[in-house]
């Protein structure tokens, strides 16, 4: 619900990771550290960062599209980067490690881990429960960790309202409440 709340209000966190997610004494999820966050454009269609803009993220949890500039030097992304990060955290919660571990994440230019295949999950461990395997399969195949943004639509689609956007110049559904 916390991620949905951000997206409904036009905010892309852009750096979701375990260190930025806390649970209150009452059991409520609290998301912190909005230093890297971005606002969606006024029609809720994502974010475009210019060649001179700095892109901030944590490599092990960042979606591939945050790490690559297009041929014009732009970084273009939307709220689906947060769903990727959430998928990585859910995988880590269930398995105990992040799904992509190849490459040296201390080197800013090396992000091959995001494009590697997910490691084969071994059920040889004594603690293993088939429910874990089903859970991880759901995280992967329900689009959270799709390497292709276009396929990472299920979670993002659930976060978007179906009512038309009535603001001038906007077409399609209303992605979030207008800024005050």
Judge whether residue 32 has pLDDT over 70: yes
Does 153 fall in a domain? Answer: yes
| Cα gap 20→33, rounded to integer Å | 6
Does 38 fall in a domain? Answer: yes
Q: What is residue 31's predicted lDDT score, i.e. its pLDDT?
A: 92
| DSSP assignments along 43-99, one per residue | TS--EEE-TTSPP---TTTS-HHHH---TTS-EEE-THHHHHHHHHHHHHHHHSS-S
Rounded mean pLDDT of the chain? Answer: 69
Q: Which of 73-77, 93-97, 154-158 has the lowest mean pLDDT?
A: 154-158
Q: What is residue 86's predicted lDDT score, i.e. its pLDDT?
A: 87
Active-site residue 165, yes or no? no
Note the pLDDT tens digit of each residue in 45-69.
667 776 677 777 888 888 877 777 7
Q: Give the whole-number percent of the chain exceeding pLDDT 90.
A: 8
Query: In the structure, what pLDDT confidence band is assigned to residue 98 with cuts at 50, 70 and 90?
Result: confident
Q: Which of 70-74, 131-135, 136-140, 162-166 has the lowest mean pLDDT?
A: 162-166
Does 124 fall in a domain? Answer: yes
Does 177 fall in a domain? Answer: no
Does 179 fall in a domain? Answer: no
Does 145 fall in a domain? Answer: yes
Model-wide pTM > 0.75: no
Does 172 fall in a domain? Answer: no
Q: What is residue 177's predicted lDDT score, i.e. its pLDDT?
A: 39
Question: Into how many domains does the chain fold?
Answer: 1
CATH no. for residue 98?
Answer: 1.10.510.10
Q: Which two tokens stand for residue 95?
A: 């398995």
> Whole domain around residue 106: which residue ranges?
2-159
Average pLDDT score over residue span 57-82:
79
Does 92 fall in a domain? Answer: yes
């Amino acid at each position: 619900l916390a991620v949905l709340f951000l997206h409904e209000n036009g905010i892309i966190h852009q750096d979701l990771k375990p260190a930025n997610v806390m649970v209150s004494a009452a059991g409520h999820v609290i998301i912190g550290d909005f230093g890297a966050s971005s606002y969606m454009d006024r029609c809720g269609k994502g974010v475009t960062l210019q060649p001179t803009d700095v892109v901030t993220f944590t490599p092990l949890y960042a979606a591939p599209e945050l790490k690559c500039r297009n041929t014009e030097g732009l970084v273009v992304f939307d709220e689906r980067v947060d769903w990727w990060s959430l998928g990585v955290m859910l995988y880590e919660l269930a398995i105990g490690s992040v799904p992509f571990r190849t490459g040296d994440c201390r080197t800013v230019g090396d992000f091959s881990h995001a494009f590697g295949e997910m490691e084969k999950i071994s059920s040889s461990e004594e603690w293993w429960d088939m429910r874990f395997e089903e859970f991880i399969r759901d995280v992967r195949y329900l689009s959270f960790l799709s390497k292709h943004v276009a396929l990472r639509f299920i979670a993002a689609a659930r976060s978007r309202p179906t009512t038309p956007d009535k603001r001038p110049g906007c077409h399609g559904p209303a992605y979030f409440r207008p800024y005050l």
